[in-house]
Structure 1
Amino acid sequence: MNHPSSTAFDTQAPLNAERRQRLLQLGGGLLMASPLTWAAPDKPAPAAASSTANPVIKVGRQQAVKTLAAAAKLARDGSVIEVDAGDYPADVAVWPQSQLSLRAVGGRVRMLANGAAAQGKGIFVMSGDAVSIEGFDFIGARVPDTNGAGIRLERGSLSVKDCSFSRCEMGLLTNNDPNTQLDLQGCEFSFGERPGSFSHLLYAGNIAKLSVTGCYFHHGMRGHLIKSRAALNHIFYNRLTDEIGGSASYELEFPNGGQALVIGNLIQQSSGSDNSHMVSFGAEGYTWPKQELQMIHNTLVDLMPTQGVYLRVKPGPAKVRLINNLLAGNRNLKTESAWEQAGNHLIDLDEFVLAMRENYALRPNSHLRGKAVDPGAALGMALRPTRQYQHPRSTMALPQPARHPGAIQLP
């Protein structure tokens, strides 16, 4: 069953020819600038620099500025906001500034919604360019229209590193601005809470680019772990596992197609899933100039008591490549003749070291070790992984490019 979303962002305006061409040109430029190892979580991105006109703003109980809400009113383009570790209940804020950096200092900064919401949308509402956030936990966002988000990204470009989102109606939610870019590194999304509807842990709207690297998504509630309408998607080295008690719908969905590179991910469907499909592409119709799904070196684990569906692709102009994937727990992969496939293996759970403990590395004596084929290149980059997901929410470098099928190369 394919559940329609009830969020305010599911209705997409048609794209005119000029807008489509501009987005296509933007997507091509972004791809050429993004190698497969780009922005790994253990390679910190440079923080936005402060200027002499905008010194560091320190926030905390012992500081002159006590709240994030107050800091947001003081901040200017280029400000650095350093926030002392601790709990900040009902401290919600709107951040329109660009070249802004928010950093936790001395430990975690816990943003507890406690019924408050900025502009009726979420804990933080962001709309600037070149904004970065690091070390924050967003907890319990709820609003009257039930789209309450830990972060609501209206427009601009945002980098989120080492942050978590839990017990929110929507973990992180974007608007539909076609120039927006969102980059997530080493983040955790869990335990969606939206009774009576669908709680997406990450929902990217009609934006230019979504990048997700080294992140951990788990325990969804009816909605999807990741839902993205972006023109370009880089989903590299993540763990998307609904796990015991989870009831997510899709683990990964691209409802309007676009270009999607899905490389080196561990994707698990729980026995309590609300939808038999794990990955879906184009279910709501293709709206972007190019439609391409590359699934390379992923491990997909189906734990439903009756057979689930690893991949659903809407008939149409989409190019689909499935290379070096492991598909476990279900011996059936429904495919189309036009899809390019090589090095994929349908296996039983006992092919892993210890599946019941979620150790999905191949057994040391597995006949599949060393059987990966060359996945080639696509969209301007080589596709053979050089890293793998490291739990929890990071990546690790491989001593050599991936040799085994699946996402897990090292124990």
Structure 2
Amino acid sequence: MKYKVTNTFFTIMSLIWLLVLFIVVSAIEVSAATLHVGPSRTFTKPSQAAAEAQDGDIIEIDAATYQGDLATWTADNLTIKGVGGRAHLDVTGTTISNKKAIWVVQGNNTTIENIEFSGAKVPSHNGAGIRSEGDGLTVRYCYFHHNENGILESNRPNNEILVEYSEFAHQGYGDGYSHNIYIGRAKKFTLKYSYSHHSATGHLVKSRAAENHILYNRLSDEVDGTSSYVLDLPNGGRSYVIGNIMHQGKEASNNNLFSYAEEGNLNPEQALYVSGNTFVNDRSNGTAIKVVSNPMVKIVNNIFDGFSKTVVGDYQGEAVNNLSNDDVKFVDRDNHDYHLIATSPAIGSGVNPGTAQGISLMPVHEYVHPENSTQRQIVGTLDIGAYEYTGQTQTTYTIGVTAGVGGRISPTGTQVVAAGDDQSFTITPDSGYRLSNVFVDENSQGTITSYIFSNIQANHTIHATFEKTDAPSSPPPSTGFNLDNIPVNEHPLYIDKDGDGYGVGPTPNGPDADDTDPTVTTYDSAMARYGTMEALLNHLGYAPENIIYVDPSCMNSDLKC
């Protein structure tokens, strides 16, 4: 009898433990939910999902613009990502109630992917796309623009931040105290394969972290950028700067491109390792690297192009085997293509940079524009700078990207693209504006919101114009008749080129860009209204037999003479 009771007891206890295990596993499975956000979803705004998210959840946000939505993320181990394209958090003109950021991330170990942040402004002039207040943040494939700060970190001593494959542009209040990226007194900051440009007087990258890894990025003022420092590590720290392109523009507001420990050696370790970078200066005078507080340094295999001074300040260690030359022989310096051509003195001039505290200083990747990377292919002896010459000449072309007041084209700035590649663009109006027209190689495309150049074999341009939303959507031309009032098919529609202009009209008396005849509209006026001649004719419903081409050259795909 005693044996049977004992056996029954253990059987019951085993069942209880199995039940407890089942409940625990079930709870874990239930907690790891996927929350969907989108205009047609249960959660129509990211802030609604943030209020419901539990530890370990995945939040998928449909590609759309979420106007004026602010969120605070408090759960741990979240993955938040845009799906079907990049989700856009646009708070332009919004009063930010938390006085911090579009997203305040208070949970630990948060991953954010494929999100666009814009328009953050607060009374203290440090409004951010993301304010990092937890420990552990990964940001990838994101785009931050026209905020006062892109990412702002809140001096968390155990915080480790990784940013990769992301773009930062046009951040800054303009007072020099807000930046594209601003990392506080964190434990570690890593920036890889990213593109930071056009900060408003602030720095392209600023980090007070105890340890920094700045690897294979393009940090560039471009033609008209006004940054202070391209890279600022104001409290020093153990820092690795490897394989980057850093460009100081002619409008830069500071002589120094890269500054180390200028605000005091407050971090416990002071060591700087700079290997295999390309530094370029277009300012009238400029210093590549300014070092303060006597750290241990190794500065090796870097290109310094256009600088009056390369490395200045007090330091221990060595700055050796760097190329300081105003004729490095880049593929296209003016358009920021810093690959080497066959006659470059940088080819085969590198030395093995060795290691520093167990980390190799040998560059193993190269930045690929925009926001990408590739394996560095070393042929023979290492080359100096951020790019290895492989013996294969790569043909590149440029795409000039410009936008009028009221919107933007992404990616921004002149794009350098390899022959045969594709390049896509997204056109987005600002709050209070709408898209008016998009011109590709000066040809109107109408109000398209995206465009792809395929198999690129020539230089191109893309330009967008915008208008305020309170303006008439179809303004009548300043001269000419109202196209909507033409009696359809009652008389022919003449399409002609006369003198210095193009035009359409119900009479053959020379529609001209300078014509003030009230029976005529100019081609440009028609395009401003309908985008293309084909759209105009479809709108009017003209039968083909009632269209008269006075000049046969008008008979082409866009009906332009």
- Which of 127, 143, 163 in structure 2 is aligned with 1:164? 143
TM-superposed deviation, 1:196: 4.2
Q: Please state if 1:206 is matched with 2:185.
A: yes
Output the amino acid matched with 1:399. Answer: Q
Q: Which residue of 2 aligns with 1:248?
A: 227
Aligned to 2:54: 76
Any residues of structure 2 matched to 1:44-193 within 5 Å, and which?
51-114=29-92, 115-117=94-96, 119-193=98-172
> CA distance change for structure 1 residues 172 and 183 in 2, over 3 Å: closer, same or farther?
same
- Aligned-partner Cα distance in 2 for 1:197–1:321: 29
**Displacement of 1:399:** 3.0
Which residue type is aligned with residue 78 of structure 1? G
1:195 and 1:204 mapped to 2: Cα distance? 18
Q: Identity of counterpart residues, as a percentage?
A: 35
Q: Tell me the amino acid that sits aligned with residue 255 of structure 1.
A: P
Q: Distance in 2 between matches of 1:244 and 1:339?
A: 35
Match of 2:304 among 327, 333, 338: 327
2:107 aligns to what SS in structure 1? coil
Describe the superposition over 1:331-389 as per-residue Cα deviations: whole angstroms up to 9, x where unpaired.
Answer: 53244573312220101145212211111112212232111100000121211111100
Alignment CA distance shift 1:54-1:315 (3 Å): closer
1:145-177 CA-to-partner distances (Å, cap 9, x unmatched) read: 111000000121010000011001011100011
What secondary structure sits across from 1:71 in the alignment?
Answer: helix
Residue 107 of structure 1: SS of its match in structure 2?
coil
| 2:267 alignment partner AA | W
What is the deviation of 1:118?
5.3
Indicate yes or no: 2:200 matched with 1:221. Answer: yes
Distance in 2 of aligned mates of 1:74 and 1:67: 12
Secondary structure of the corresponding residue to residue 151 of structure 1: strand
Question: What number of residue pairs does the alignment pair up?
Answer: 360
**1:341-356 alignment to 2 at 5 Å?**
341-349=319-327, 351-356=329-334
| Contact 1:242/1:248 (<8 A) preserved | yes
Shift of 1:113: 1.1
Contact 2:174-2:202 at 8 Å conserved across structures: no
The CA distance in 2 between the partners of 1:268 and 1:274, in whole Å, is: 13
- Letter of the 1:328 partner, please give it: D
Alignment CA distance shift 1:363-1:344 (3 Å): same
Q: Which residue in 1 is equivalent to 2:215?
A: 236
Q: CA deviation at 1:144?
A: 1.2
Computed over aligned residues only, the root mean square deviation of the Cα atoms, in angstroms, reads 1.6
Say which of 361, 370, 382 aligns to 1:383.
Answer: 361
Q: SS in structure 2 opposite 1:292?
A: strand
Q: Distance in 1 between matches of 2:286 and 2:114?
A: 36
* Amino acid corresponding to residue 341 of structure 2 in structure 1: R
Letter in 2 for 1:143: V
Give the TM-score normalised by the residue count of structure 2: 0.62
1:331/1:346 contact within 8 Å kept: no
SS in 1 for 2:86: strand
Q: Secondary structure at the match of 2:191?
A: strand
Gaps of 5+ in 1: 1-49
What corresponds to 2:316 in structure 1?
338
Structure 2 CA distance for partners of 1:105 and 1:343, relative to 1, 3 Å = same
Larger radius of gyration: 2
Measure, in 1, the Cα distance between the counterparts of 2:345 and 2:176.
44
CA distance in 1, matches of 2:89, 2:315: 49
Alignment check: 8 A CA contact 2:63 2:87 kept:
yes
Secondary structure at the counterpart of residue 117 of structure 2: strand
Deviations 1:189-238 (A, max 9, x none): 01124144533100000000000000000011111011100000010000
Q: Judging by fraction of residues, say which structure has more helix.
A: 2
Match of 2:476 in 1: none
* SS of 1:206 mapped into structure 2: coil
AA at the equivalent of 1:134? E
Any gaps of 5 or more consecutive residues in structure 2?
1-27, 395-561
Q: Equivalents in 2 of 1:225, 1:409: separation in Å?
A: 25
In structure 2, distance between residues paired with 1:273 and 1:235: 21
Residue 269 (structure 2) aligned to one of 274, 282, 290: 290
One-letter amino acid matched to 2:331: V
Contact 2:193 2:216 in 1 (8 A): yes
d(CA) in 2 for partners of 1:148 and 1:225?
16
Q: Distance in 2 between matches of 1:370 and 1:223?
A: 37
Deviation string 1:54-113 (CA, Å, 9 cap, x unpaired) is 411000011111001100011010010001001001111000111100011100101101
Distance 1:186 1:175 in 2: 22
CA contact (8 A) 2:81 2:113 kept: yes
For residue 52 of structure 1, report the CA deviation from its aligned partner: 2.4
Contact 1:51–1:79 (Cα < 8 Å) also in 2: no
Asked which structure has the greater RCO (Cα within 8 Å, sep 6+), the reply is 1
> Per-residue deviation at 1:296?
0.3
Structure 2 CA distance for aligned equivalents of residues 282 and 399 of structure 1? 34
Distance 2:39 2:134 in 1: 31
